[in-house]
């Protein structure tokens, strides 16, 4: 696990920028505090910060060259099947005495690329982003893992191509800083930026499951090597009972594969089904697994540590609970805001940051349950989407109650007001088509309301035609009544641009590697060959996940509300963080001077926040706070 950056000059006028390689690499220090090195010739500069996980010796440091010195690689991530690939695909090197110089996956990947180029990408099991340079041909090959677990941003123009693991590192190459207000409009709807877009014009992210070739003349080609395939022809391959057996086998193999490390390893244990499954399986391969939970000492509604303890006790793990007060959470709000280098407003990043920070004091690698909800339909919106597609009296009654739901108080912070919020969104969604409903349920605010937050002058900068094209791209898989299309869309939108960004960013801020067995490609491919009825029905979300592992988990974990890593933002904004909003980032004075947002709309939003019916105003306020903090950091 590391951070990478690089620069390819196509014209003499940009060659002076190659000297910025050290500055750009240093920006990635937290991603790789163990070591930092650079490579540079008269065309290309490559930088690497290392978090040592496999083969911690200096010999495995990067940038890494082959014996001839012709090829150079900078690599971020892990290839879990590298030993098998070395023996099967690189037999001559494996058997010869003058073969591999290290026991690292980086060296195996280097020689796979030398011998097979991009053809080796489908063989890799793991998560990664890398750049592979051929000095002789003067070509650069970039690639990103199947689901985009590791980030790779780039900026491409006539005289140079720059890339990096993080925006702060990319900005060190002095790329232009022009805000894309069409993307800002999307951000205000979703609370994150949908990839491959970026908040800055001209900046993009390499798509997951893609590779890109950059040539010395500046030509750039991006091509896919993998896509999630809904295999309808396989829907009848397994009975439900047989599917459960195969699922357990594949998850067990995915967990076992991710236990390889030359540093201390543990697992997150939230008290939910997914992380509990990971702990149950991981306990098979170590005498005493280290597990970590985060607790909400001041808010029992969000606290799930009692369920985590049941699992820890059952599997006799070395369990640590970080029980935190509101003051503990608030203490880290600015740490999170400081690390974010592109607007990202999933507020659960705060507890994830804290969990990673405390966990890193004990281990360097942590297993997690990320991806289970997107792959196997674990969210409330999945249950709602399933129900809305079935004709029922309950649906009719909920729709009839729309006028009532509209006026009742709605918020996520209490059981009753959250129910009113859900009923309102259900009734609202029932009137929309498949794609429009998905987008609305994925959003915190509507397109119209998001636009009203932007000042009149800048609203003219929103390219609605282009936004419609992007929206069609994001929703392109939802075409029929096959529910797996919804899950594939989740993988390509929510998982990619929200969940994985959050975990990568917050774990790397604390130099912690997080591995996700549910995102093993063999598990995902298996899941998309199962009918949706194996995953969700009128009674269960994540049905096969719950049923397959029922005998391994404490009964108390079942049939209880799902909260996730939520925090009491609404209460904080009304109390402890009110001055940050009203006197600083969203003050009338700052809004007027900045000239990005509409003053009247911001004032109305603050008023709604403090009303008896706040709805999701706190989420939009947080999106604005994050943007404003970022803007001050990079534009003031």
Active site residues per annotation: 2
Query: Which of 289, 296, 284 is closest to 312 using CA atoms?
Result: 289
Q: What is the 3-state secondary structure (H, E, C) of 476-541?
A: CCCCCCCCHHHHHHHHHHHHHHHHHHHHHHHHHCCCCEEECHHHCHHHHHHHCCCCHHHCCCCCCC
Chain centre to alpha carbon of residue 330: 23
| Distance separating alpha carbons of residues 247 and 240, to the nearest angstrom | 10
Q: Which residues contact 558 (CB under 8 A, 6 or more apart)?
A: 273, 546, 550
**4: exposed, middle or buried (C-beta count within 10 Å: 0-12, 13-18, 19+)?**
buried
The count of other CB atoms within 10 Å of the CB of residue 635 is 10
Q: HSE (CB half, 13 Å, CA atoms) of 236?
A: 1
Q: Two tokens at 140?
A: 């650069």
Tokens of 243: 């599917």
Collapse the DSSP code of 554 into the 3-class scheme (helix H, G, I; strand E, B; otherwise coil) and give the result: coil
Q: Give the closest residue to 184 by CA, choosing from 207, 201, 202, 205.
A: 201
Q: Measured at the alpha carbon of residue 264, what is the angle toward residues 260 and 269, in degrees to the nearest 5?
A: 90
| Helix ranges restricted to H, 147-210 | 167-171, 181-190
CB 186 within 8 A of CB 240: no
586 vs 343: CA distance, rounded Å:
16
3 state DSSP class of 615: coil
Per the rule left: phi > 0, alpha: psi between -120 and 50, beta: everything else, 253 is alpha
197 C-beta neighbours (distance < 10 Å), count: 18
């Amino acid at each position: 696990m590391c951070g990478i950056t690089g620069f390819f000059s196509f014209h003499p006028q940009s060659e002076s920028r190659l000297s910025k390689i050290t500055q750009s690499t240093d920006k990635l220090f937290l991603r790789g505090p163990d070591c930092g090195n650079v490579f540079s010739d008269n065309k290309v500069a490559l930088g690497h910060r290392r978090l040592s996980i496999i083969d911690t010796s200096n010999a495995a440091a990067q940038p890494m060259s082959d014996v001839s010195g012709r090829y150079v690689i900078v690599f971020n991530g892990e290839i879990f099947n590298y030993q098998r690939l070395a023996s099967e695909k690189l037999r001559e090197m494996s058997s010869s005495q003058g073969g591999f110089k290290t026991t690292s996956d980086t060296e195996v990947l280097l020689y796979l690329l030398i011998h097979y180029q991009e053809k080796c990408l489908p063989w890799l099991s793991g998560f990664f982003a890398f750049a592979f340079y051929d000095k002789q041909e003067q070509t650069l090959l970039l690639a990103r893992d199947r689901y985009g677990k590791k980030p790779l941003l780039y900026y491409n123009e006539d005289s140079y191509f720059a890339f990096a693991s993080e925006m702060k590192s990319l900005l060190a190459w002095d790329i232009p800083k022009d805000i894309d207000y069409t993307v800002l409009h999307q951000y205000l709807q979703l609370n994150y930026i949908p990839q491959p877009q970026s908040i800055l014009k001209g900046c993009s992210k390499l798509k997951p499951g893609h590779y890109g070739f950059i040539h010395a003349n500046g030509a750039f080609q991006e091509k896919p090597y993998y896509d999630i395939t809904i295999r309808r022809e396989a829907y009848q391959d397994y009975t439900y009972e047989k599917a459960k057996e195969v699922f357990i086998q594949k998850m067990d193999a995915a967990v076992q594969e991710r236990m390889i490390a030359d540093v201390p390893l543990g697992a997150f244990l939230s008290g939910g089904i997914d992380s509990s499954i990971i702990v149950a399986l991981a306990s098979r391969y170590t005498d005493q697994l280290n597990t970590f939970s985060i607790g909400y000492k001041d808010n029992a509604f969000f606290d799930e540590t009692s369920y985590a303890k049941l699992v820890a006790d059952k599997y006799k793990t070395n369990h640590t609970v970080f029980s935190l007060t509101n003051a503990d959470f608030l203490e880290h709000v600015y740490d999170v805001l400081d690390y974010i280098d592109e607007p990202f407003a999933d507020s659960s990043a705060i507890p994830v940051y804290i969990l990673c920070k405390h966990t890193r004091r004990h281990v360097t690698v942590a297993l997690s349950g990320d991806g289970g909800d997107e792959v196997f339909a674990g969210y409330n919106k999945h249950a709602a989407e399933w129900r809305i597609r079935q004709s029922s009296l309950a649906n009719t009654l909920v729709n009839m109650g729309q006028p009532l739901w509209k006026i009742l108080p709605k918020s996520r912070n209490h059981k009753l007001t959250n129910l009113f919020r859900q009923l309102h969104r259900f009734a609202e969604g029932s009137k929309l088509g498949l794609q429009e409903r998905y987008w609305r349920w994925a959003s915190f605010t509507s397109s119209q309301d998001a636009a009203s937050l932007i000042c009149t002058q800048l609203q003219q900068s929103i390219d609605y035609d282009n936004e419609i094209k992007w929206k069609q791209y994001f929703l392109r898989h939802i075409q029929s009544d096959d529910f797996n299309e919804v899950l594939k869309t989740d993988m390509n939108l929510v998982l990619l641009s929200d969940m994985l960004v959050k975990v990568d960013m917050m774990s790397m801020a604390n130099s912690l590697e997080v591995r996700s067995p549910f995102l093993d490609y063999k598990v995902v491919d298996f899941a998309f060959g199962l009918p949706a009825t194996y995953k969700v029905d009128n009674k269960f979300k994540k049905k096969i996940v719950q049923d397959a592992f029922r005998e391994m988990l404490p009964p108390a974990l079942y049939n209880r509300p799902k909260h996730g890593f939520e925090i009491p933002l609404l209460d904080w904004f009304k109390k402890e963080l009110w001055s940050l909003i009203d006197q600083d980032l969203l003050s009338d004075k700052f809004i007027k001077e900045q000239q990005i947002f509409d003053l009247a709309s911001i004032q109305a939003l603050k008023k709604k926040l403090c009303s008896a019916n706040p709805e999701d105003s706190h989420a939009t306020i947080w999106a604005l706070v994050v943007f404003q903090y970022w803007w001050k950091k990079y534009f003031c």
